[in-house]
Amino acid sequence: MAIAVLSCQGCGRCSQVCPADAILRNGGKVVKIDEGKCREYGDEGCRKCVEACPYGALVIMD
């Protein structure tokens, strides 16, 4: 499982809900998801970031 970042608006909600501190941001915008940290919450991820994004910018890639 990997998470693609599309058009991030830099609101920060995803990193607020991520229990793994796996979301790396620069200038507010998501630049990378640390997949190693994310996987600690299951092979499918916890998906909290995807659900939290009001812009649909995070997309699960199987």
CA distance linking residue 46 with residue 26, whole number of Å: 23
**Least separation, in Å, of the C-beta of 62 and ligand SF4?**
13
Q: Which two tokens stand for residue 50?
A: 């995807």
Task: Confirm or reject binding of residue 22 to ligand SF4 (CB under 6 A).
Answer: yes
Give residue 10's region: left, alpha or beta (phi > 0; psi -120 to 50).
Answer: left
Q: Which two tokens stand for residue 31?
A: 């630049």
Q: Among residues 14, 24, 27, 61, which is the contact residue for ligand SF4, using CB under 6 A?
A: 14
Binding stretches for ligand SF4 (CB under 6 A):
8-14, 17-20, 22-23, 30, 33, 38, 41, 45-49, 52-53, 55, 57-58
